[in-house]
Chains A and B, each alone.
Chain A
């Protein structure tokens, strides 16, 4: 998929662990892992909003479009 999820980069920048973020968003670590590995087909605006709020970033910081 040409959309790359850079969530692990943002997590490293904020020195936050995956399970901590998952707990704060209210999703399972398995689902967060699906998102991180790029296996997810879609992301809800509500989830994106929470991720951006917790990591204090913009949607563009955690996702980027790379032409195939």
Chain B
């Protein structure tokens, strides 16, 4: 026993804070959340077990939920690829030894670091106001801009643009990835007479695949979790006409505006499962397109 403690004791001691946090703030809540997902619970009276009813209602009758799914998916599928392509292009331009790279890199990253702030969400609202700067620029070239924030057909695009504006983090990761590709490979390709374009898709892309994959997973998970900007830009409600009603926002309002904690928990689990499925797909598919340089057993 004494020996066991001497060997393991220090490890356990250092883990105490994390372990308490893990039980109280992660594992416990996950189990409780799973339980609540099958109940009707309004905080004021004890939870009432209703089996699958929450999920039945959600998928069969709740048009707001189905709409929120559509909003969330549209957002993820448009913003993530856009952001990654843009990030890769800029990273490649920056990679090829250019003066002032530190300056550009910093400026490109700045929006990402501010992106989560309410100030930027407020700013965005004003930029895309009907009388805002975006429409003013469009007017200059003779286009009459829409009511971005009040037109359900356009509102989501303001958020997609906001997301793409924050391409800094994947760009930095791409940059690190590009740096790690040995220049000798390009020199060898050059000597074989490989064209620049072919170098891009025969060397850069395959060798960058792990980084692309990493960015893809990270950005996708992040995009599914978008909340604050949607909250502020839509005024907290998902307006106009629920066109900004992301699952996260819907969930928040169900829980903290209407106190439907059971239903909100069920929504949270749907979100979890969606993220898990997409991460799973990404991981599963990665074996077909991601090549790891130092593949180990």
The yes or no verdict on A and B being binding partners is no
